[in-house]
Amino acid sequence: MKDKEEIIKNINKLKEEKNAIILAHNYQPKEIQKIADFLGDSLELCIKAKETDADIIVFCGVDFMAETAKILNPDKKVLMPEIEGTQCPMAHQLPPDIIKEYREKYPDTPLVVYVNTTAETKALADITCTSANADKVVNSLDAETVLFGPDNNLAYYVQKRTNKKIIPIPIGGGCYVHKKFTLEDLKRVKEKYPNAIVLIHPECNPELQDNADYIASTSGMLKIVLNSDEKEFIIGTEVGMIDRIELELEKIGEKKVLIPLREDAICNEMKKITLQKIEKSLLEEIYEIKLDKDIIKRAKVAIERMLNIKG
């Protein structure tokens, strides 16, 4: 059996031979974060996928992320090192039939969908958003009422930052990881670390958002920790984000105390990818993301509208 260093060496060799790039989300296991060419949140990964001149994109994340990379790069080969069990549950909470139902009820109302959705859903949207730009996207629209899905907690976050009426769809949509966090969790951790700054992801429940020092996407959390003079931070998102922040702190030789709001805030789907699977994916060029051309064309319009918003 190969050791880790040998696998990493072979991954780098295969990347060079095949002009491949590895994109990884901030929630990926630490060993994946360390070998990725680019780490980021959904928005950053969208931008990087659009800009890359690689022939092959190896996407370490969940299904909708690899689909988004394919939509933005229809002529490139997009691979996921693992296809089984990497379907984001929230991304599948807003299927086309639910959209059709709300479109009939609100025929002239624009639909904003989180990038955490399937390609088919993006193809039916007017524009996409991420947790980093959701309020900006909604405020860019020339409409008083907006359909917004599938994350109800992100809808709450946006509603607090706009004068528009937000209609969350479907009822109850959200991320099972972020929904785990409770006020009791926050009180418990704050008692132990009373001076810690509380960072909460906008996918968290409203009562957590209302008691945060900062509500931020994963990229936002990283910037806050790196640029702050404070030394202790409670991280209210998936635990992989702590590894991500620690990697950046190591680069600049700083040490800060990063406290997970919950140790069990784990996205199971994000943890399916391993170094061995990346090596195999590059070697055999599996598993390739393939989408219908019409879906790609329509979904690309919604994503590029988001990417073209200035400011």
Residue 38 φ then ψ, to 5°: -150, 130
Question: Cα–Cα distance between 269 and 18 in angstroms, integer?
Answer: 27
pLDDT at 42: 86
Q: At what angle do helices 42-51 and 293-307 cross, to 10 degrees?
A: 110
- The answer to whether 183 and 199 are in contact (CB under 8 A) is no
pLDDT at 1: 67
Instruction: Tell me which DSSP letter residue 288 carries.
Output: B
CB atoms under 10 Å from CB of 30, counted, come to 12
Question: Cα–Cα distance between 267 and 86 in angstroms, integer?
Answer: 10
E strands, 169-213, in order: 197-200
- The answer to whether 150 and 113 are in contact (CB under 8 A) is yes
List, in sequence order, every residue forming a beta bridge with 168; answer none if it has no partner: 148
CA 82 to chain centre: 17
Cis peptide before 287 (omega within 30 of 0): yes
pLDDT at 311: 56
pLDDT at 2: 78
Answer yes or no: pTM beyond 0.85: yes
Total residue length of the chain? 311
pLDDT in tens, the chain (311 residues): 679 999 999 999 999 999 999 999 999 999 999 999 999 998 899 889 889 999 999 999 999 999 999 999 999 999 999 999 999 999 999 999 999 999 999 999 999 999 999 999 999 999 999 999 999 999 999 999 999 999 999 999 999 999 999 999 999 999 999 999 999 999 999 999 999 999 999 999 999 999 999 999 999 999 999 999 999 999 999 999 999 999 999 999 999 999 999 999 999 999 999 999 999 999 999 999 999 999 999 999 999 999 999 75
Q: Which two tokens stand for residue 201?
A: 């992801």
- The answer to whether 256 and 225 are in contact (CB under 8 A) is yes
**Residues contacting residue 254 through CB under 8 Å, at least 6 positions apart:** none
